[in-house]
Amino acid sequence: MPPEDPQPGHQLPCSVYIVGPQSTGKTTLVNALAEVFGNVPIVREVARGVMAEKGYSKVDVDSNDQERKFSMQRDIFTAQVEAESAFLDPTQPRSFLSDRSAIDPLIYLRRYSGTSNLDRLTSTDLWNTVRDRYRDATRSLFFLLLPVEDFLVDDDIRYVPKSLEDWYALAEEFRSFMVEERISFCEIGAECLELENRIQLVLSKLLPSSEAL
């Protein structure tokens, strides 16, 4: 039996992160979940704002300038953590919906810049703190959205993979990294195309039928 839809304004039982390669429907799903839950905090995509503010573009994702590649993903990573931290006041923590996570820039860094530059971020105390929070299933729930070819579009801002193979390989980078870091996640792919079905899948994990509202 599927979970009942929560009443608008009901607090999320934990923070929900929608992650994955570009053009997999992340923002669409976050917006739909926001409508289902009503007045819940949302961490909107930070990458576009960082790119506009710092003068980065999608060509920097896999450019030959290693330091610029690193700087862009570091700045996106830092901005994402800061956005999440706004809801982590220990005296009154709030669960939130997040369009992406601090994992996303790490994946792009690993895929297009290599593990040495990735280690420059994953060896920090900041990542260790974030990773501990992401590993805590009582605080964080991750959904990895996988490539669906009909969803792939070029908006002139986000990086577009050079091939479908590159796109699928990026998804595998997400999967392997989260497994390595012991961060639990659920996958949503081509077997679940309709938005309503995706919403119900998220709700089934977030609000088991035994605890449905």
Helix axes of 115-122 and 103-113: crossing angle, nearest 10 degrees: 150
The CATH superfamily label for domain 15-211 reads P-loop containing nucleotide triphosphate hydrolases (3.40.50.300)
Q: From first to last of its 213 residues, what are the pLDDT tens digits of the chain?
A: 344 444 544 578 999 999 999 989 999 999 999 999 988 999 999 999 999 999 999 889 988 899 999 999 999 999 999 999 999 988 887 899 999 999 999 999 999 999 999 999 999 999 999 999 999 999 999 999 999 987 766 555 455 667 889 999 999 999 999 999 999 999 999 999 999 999 999 999 998 653 444
What is this structure's pTM? 0.89
What are the residues whose beta carbons fall under 8 Å from the beta carbon of 110, sequence distance 6 or more? Answer: 118, 173, 177
Is 53 strand, coil or helix?
helix
Exposure pattern of 107-117 as b/e (b: 16+ CB <10 Å)?
bbbbbbbeeeb
What are the residues whose beta carbons fall under 8 Å from the beta carbon of 117, sequence distance 6 or more? Answer: 66, 69, 70, 109
Domain boundaries, the chain: 15-211
Residue 27 DSSP code: H
Q: Are 27 and 45 in contact (CB under 8 A)?
A: yes
